[in-house]
Structure 1
Amino acid sequence: MPAMLVSKISAPLNALLAITGLMAVAALTTPDITAPVRFALEMLLAGIWAVYGLQLIGTIILRQMNGVHDAIPAIIIDVLAVLLPLLAFLAISRRDQSLYCAIWLLKPLRQSSFFRMMGKVISNETRNLIGVTSVFGILLFAASLAAYLIERDVQPDRFGSIPQAMWWAVATLSTTGYGDEIPQSLAGRILGGLVMMSGIGVFALWAGILATGFYEEVRRQDFVRNWQMVAAVPLFQKLSPAALIEVVRSLRPRTVPAGAVICRKGDRGDQMYFIVEGSVVVALPSPVRIDSGSFFGEMALITGEPRSATVTAATEVSLLSLYSVDFQILSGSSPEIAEIIRKTALERRQAVPDA
């Protein structure tokens, strides 16, 4: 079914269609455009709309077949991308019909995780954001009231009422300063300076809350991902949750492409590696392949000696690295793991030199 195939179009193709459509919308606003060119651009928009319509139908069918009920924002975007231009075609004058295709601005974001992250950040920081917004509202009204009292007799046409003064207060609080409304009196200018400084503080609070929220959300997602990677290593699967948390905090995830050198012979050994997925090759007289679930590089970490062999990624490999400082901390919190690592290192050293 064509709709099923179109529903799987990639994000880059979605973005390309959206950009093409928006360029056509912009071109249609040109006053001296010829009739043939206008017709061609309108047909282009109709073709893009048809593709988006098939994509919406296919997505709905796939969701029903697979029983998927997530990605609601993506479905909303798909519906708006089809429905809004259609309603404009049916109810709006021809001059402005194409402008409603600007909703396609959202199409490149339909598969982005930004919406979910933004929603979580706003949900987590709702109380703080509402608090700062309340402060902004109070400052806005107070500044409008003060400007009205100070400037109403000097500039009755611009500050003759509180609603009129609010435009100046908004422009000043946001430090935009259009200059269309300027206090003339000394008291009014002093008020303007205070309002500007207050606005800087309010917007700094908004930015700080959102930045902190994004940082915490990214750190939370990184912790969950690292937890899943650590739990996949057999050595850590018998640990208690508290001990596993300490391990997650100590290990650093790293992905290495196939053929890349992970550590070289003679290098300073300040960390060891746990293989979550993939495999590596230790360049010994008889090369040794180490697969997922094992670890390497522990000898140089424990003894402090330089690396005794070069280790290369045989495939793309997901690693968890443990630095010497963190190893000492881990030894205190999880001595059984440290003992296993030391025992394995001793056995490997007795057998063949390791990295």
Structure 2
Amino acid sequence: MPKAIGVLKQYIKSIVEINDNKKSKYFAFFIQGLILLSIVTFSVETIPDLKPQTRMLLRIIEWFSVMVFTLEYLLRIYVADNKPKFIFSFFGIIDLLAILPFYLAFGVDLRSLRALRFLRLFRILKLVRYNNAMNHFTRAIKSAKEEILLFIFITLILIYFSAVGIYYFENEAQPEHFSSIFDSLWWAVITLTTVGYGDVYPITVGGKVFTFFILMIGLGIVAIPTGIISSALTKSVDKNEESR
């Protein structure tokens, strides 16, 4: 009996996990198609004045999708060699978030239902598992996580520094826009990211000069993460080709 269970477990594992056999490929295509169908129905649901029959069809598709995704999630836990590691892994969390809104919606106040529906968008991240390019990107992010965290920390410091600087330059001239450092944070964010909506801008000489230097720093801030990730992607692709 234990041997038969072990054989069954290996058989299920050969299907649900990505392998070269046909059954695994068919399963992967089926899940990918269901994810895309689920995302389409999610979008169609937002169309106003849908017929009751259409809404019922969309609901049936949603129920079917959730049942399949739930079964897939449970099977992946069942065949995982290290179950806690899978459950708390990136893909394990994404698989859970893909089905969680459906079950949380039962007995929930309708006003919060919209927020739960938004969480269904996490299903699209399930496609990452089946895309080699996205797998390279995921590995690149993991390998460069320390550099990315350092970059985020430095960026937050620069945003705060920018907000403080522009507050002291522009507070007296534009108290309606720069009444506090917290109000100045909006200007700091859109300036450092070089978006510059134009709704808030400096009018004093000191503020304009300060803004010039902040914009120069902002150009570097936009370029740095691109360099970090592209370098990590190159290393990930090279390692993959070497392992073949």
TM over 0.5: yes
Does residue 87 of the first structure (1) align with residue 104 of the second (2)?
Answer: yes
Measure, in 2, the Cα distance between the counterparts of 1:124 and 1:68: 22
1:160 to 170, 173, 179: 179
Give the structure with the higher percent helix: 2
List per-residue Cα deviations over 1:220-252 (Å, max 9, x = no partner): 332333xxxxxxxxxxxxxxxxxxxxxxxxxxx
Taking a change above 3 Å as real, the CA distance of residues 131 and 82 of structure 1, as seen in their structure-2 partners, is closer
1:112 CA displacement: 4.0
1:117 CA displacement: 4.2
Q: Secondary structure at the match of 1:78?
A: helix
Taking a change above 3 Å as real, the CA distance of residues 90 and 105 of structure 1, as seen in their structure-2 partners, is farther
Corresponding residue for 1:52?
69
1:76 to 71, 85, 93: 93
1:92 CA displacement: 4.5
1:175 CA displacement: 0.7
- In the alignment, residue 215 of structure 1 is paired with which amino acid? T
1:179 to 188, 192, 198: 198
Measure, in 2, the Cα distance between the counterparts of 1:92 and 1:117: 41
1:102 CA displacement: 1.9
1:17 CA displacement: 1.2
User: Which structure is richer in relative contact order (CA contacts within 8 A, separation 6 or more)?
Assistant: 2
Measure, in 1, the Cα distance between the counterparts of 2:227 and 2:207: 30
Contact 2:97–2:120 (8 Å) recurs in 1: no
- In the alignment, residue 100 of structure 2 is paired with which amino acid? L
Gaps of 5+ in 2: 1-7, 17-23
- In the alignment, residue 46 of structure 2 is paired with which amino acid? T
Taking a change above 3 Å as real, the CA distance of residues 127 and 68 of structure 1, as seen in their structure-2 partners, is closer
List per-residue Cα deviations over 1:51-92 (Å, max 9, x = no partner): 11222233333x16xx46676433332222222321134425
Contact 2:159–2:185 (8 Å) recurs in 1: yes
After superposition, the CA RMSD in angstroms is: 2.9
Measure, in 2, the Cα distance between the counterparts of 1:100 and 1:127: 28
- In the alignment, residue 235 of structure 2 is paired with which amino acid? E
Contact 2:171–2:178 (8 Å) recurs in 1: yes
Q: Secondary structure at the match of 1:159?
A: coil
Q: Secondary structure at the match of 2:173?
A: coil
1:215-254 counterparts in 2 under 5 A?
215-225=234-244
Corresponding residue for 2:158?
139
1:182 CA displacement: 1.6
- In the alignment, residue 54 of structure 2 is paired with which amino acid? V
Taking a change above 3 Å as real, the CA distance of residues 177 and 155 of structure 1, as seen in their structure-2 partners, is same
1:198 CA displacement: 0.6
2:47 to 30, 40, 44: 30
Give the structure with the higher percent strand: 1
What percent of counterpart residues are identical?
A: 25
Contact 2:193–2:221 (8 Å) recurs in 1: no
1:196-345 counterparts in 2 under 5 A?
196-225=215-244
Taking a change above 3 Å as real, the CA distance of residues 109 and 126 of structure 1, as seen in their structure-2 partners, is closer
- In the alignment, residue 41 of structure 1 is paired with which amino acid? L
Measure, in 2, the Cα distance between the counterparts of 1:101 and 1:130: 27
Aligned length: 220
Tell me which structure has the larger Cα radius of gyration.
1
1:114 CA displacement: 5.8
Measure, in 1, the Cα distance between the counterparts of 2:76 and 2:153: 41
- In the alignment, residue 56 of structure 2 is paired with which amino acid? F
Corresponding residue for 2:125?
106
Corresponding residue for 1:125?
144
Q: Secondary structure at the match of 1:10?
A: helix
Gaps of 5+ in 1: 226-355
Decide which moves more: 8-17 or 205-214.
8-17
Q: TM-score, normalised by structure 2?
A: 0.77
Taking a change above 3 Å as real, the CA distance of residues 220 and 176 of structure 1, as seen in their structure-2 partners, is same
Contact 1:73–1:110 (8 Å) recurs in 2: no
1:37 CA displacement: 1.9
